[in-house]
C-alpha cells in the first residue's frame, strides 16, 4: 500500500491508474478508523480496481470551540487497517498541504446545511464540501463512499455532486453499530464507562421512533415527543436536537408522508453524539 503525504504524489499515481483504465474508489476519512470506516473500505474494494483512503483531520470543518486539537489520531493503526483491507493508497497530508497560505475558495450547499447539525455548527458543512471537493479532484475517483451515520453530510455531498455536475458517484453505506446498538464513531473514545452506558439511550430512542413511523404514525410531533422523552429519561443526556426532516431538502416536516430522515444530536456529558434513521417509501 502506498502512503502519500503530497497531493502531487497522489496525482502521479492516479495518472498511471487512469491511463490503465482502472476505476478508483475513494473513502474520505478523518482517521482513527473503526469498523464503520472498514465497511466503507470493503465496499470500495469490492466495486473498484483501486481504493484510495484519505486520512486527514480537516481543520476548516471545526468551529473555534470544537475538538480539532483533541480529535483522536492513530495513523499507524489506520495504515495497518487499510493495508489489511487491501487499500492501494492512503493519503495523509499536512493541513498546509491542503490549505496553502491565502487559501480562500470554498464550496457550500445552502438549504440542506441550514438545519440539524448546521444550526449548531454553522461553518461545518462548507468545510466538509470544500475538502471533499479537493479530494475528488485530487483522486479523480469514480465513486466515493460515505456512511449514513453522518446522514446530513451524505445528503449534502450527494446534492453538491448533483447540482454542480461532479463526475463521481456517491455511495451511501449503512450505519455500523456496536453489539449493544451504539453507532460506531471515533468520538465514542471520549466516553467514560458510565457515559458509554448512558449513550445507549440514543439507539433506544431511535428504535422506538422508527417503530412508530414504520407502523404508520404520520404525526412528526408525536414521534419527536416520544424520542425526546426517552432521551430525557437518561440524566447524563442533554439534547441538542431531535428533528424529522424530508430526506430531499432536509426541511422540518409536520406530516410523515414522504421519505424522511429522523436525526438526533445528544450530549452525553461533554461528548456530542449523532445518530439517525431514514425511512423511504
Q: Where on the chain is the footprint of ligand PAF (CB under 6 A)?
A: 28-30, 58, 61, 128, 131-132, 150, 153
Q: Which of 34, 37, 124, 203 is catalytic?
A: 37
Q: What nine digits make up the cell of 238?
A: 442533554
- Name which of 39 and 58 has its Cβ closer to ligand PAF: 58
* Closest separation in Å from C-beta 233 to ligand PAF: 30
- Name which of 13 and 126 has its Cβ closer to ligand PAF: 126
**Starting at the edge strand that comes first in sequence, how are the strands of the sheet with 260-268 ordered?**
237-246, 260-268, 271-279
User: Contact at 8 Å (CB) between 265 and 116?
Assistant: yes
- Name which of 71 and 228 has its Cβ closer to ligand PAF: 71
64 contacts: CB under 8 Å, gap ≥ 6: none
* Closest separation in Å from C-beta 216 to ligand PAF: 33
* Closest separation in Å from C-beta 212 to ligand PAF: 29
Q: Is 203 a catalytic residue?
A: no
- Name which of 13 and 148 has its Cβ closer to ligand PAF: 148
The end-to-end CA distance of the chain, in Å, is 42
* Closest separation in Å from C-beta 32 to ligand PAF: 9
DSSP string spanning 3-61? Answer: EE-SHHHHHHHHHHHHHTT--EEEEEE-SS--HHHHHHHHHHHHH-SEEEEEE---GGG
Residues assigned a catalytic role: 37
Amino acid at each position: 500500500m502506498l502512503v502519500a503525504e503530497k497531493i502531487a504524489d497522489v496525482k502521479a499515481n492516479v495518472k498511471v491508474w487512469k491511463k490503465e483504465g482502472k476505476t478508483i474508489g475513494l473513502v474520505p476519512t478523518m482517521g482513527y478508523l473503526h469498523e464503520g470506516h472498514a465497511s466503507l473500505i470493503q465496499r470500495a474494494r469490492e466495486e473498484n480496481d483501486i481504493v484510495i483512503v484519505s486520512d486527514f483531520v480537516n481543520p476548516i470543518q471545526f468551529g473555534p470551540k470544537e475538538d480539532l486539537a483533541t480529535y483522536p489520531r492513530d495513523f499507524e493503526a489506520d495504515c495497518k487497517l487499510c493495508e489489511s483491507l487491501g487499500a492501494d493508497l492512503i493519503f495523509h497530508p499536512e493541513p498546509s498541504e491542503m490549505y496553502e497560505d491565502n487559501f480562500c475558495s470554498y464550496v457550500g450547499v445552502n438549504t440542506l446545511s441550514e438545519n440539524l447539525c448546521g444550526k449548531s455548527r454553522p461553518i461545518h458543512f462548507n468545510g466538509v464540501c470544500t475538502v471533499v471537493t479537493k479530494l475528488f479532484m485530487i483522486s479523480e475517483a469514480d465513486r466515493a463512499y460515505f456512511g449514513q451515520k453522518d446522514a446530513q453530510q451524505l445528503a449534502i455531498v450527494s446534492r453538491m455532486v448533483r447540482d454542480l455536475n461532479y463526475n463521481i458517484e456517491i455511495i451511501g453505506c449503512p450505519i455500523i453499530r456496536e453489539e449493544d446498538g451504539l453507532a460506531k464513531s471515533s468520538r465514542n473514545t471520549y466516553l467514560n464507562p458510565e457515559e458509554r452506558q448512558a449513550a445507549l439511550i440514543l439507539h433506544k430512542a431511535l428504535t422506538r421512533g422508527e417503530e412508530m413511523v414504520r407502523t404508520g404514525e404520520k404525526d412528526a410531533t408525536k414521534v419527536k415527543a416520544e424520542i425526546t422523552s426517552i432521551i430525557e429519561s437518561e440524566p447524563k443526556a442533554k439534547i441538542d436536537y431531535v428533528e424529522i426532516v424530508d430526506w430531499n431538502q432536509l426541511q422540518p416536516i409536520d406530516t410523515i408522508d414522504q421519505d424522511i430522515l429522523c436525526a438526533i444530536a445528544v450530549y452525553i456529558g461533554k461528548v456530542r453524539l449523532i445518530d439517525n434513521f431514514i425511512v423511504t417509501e
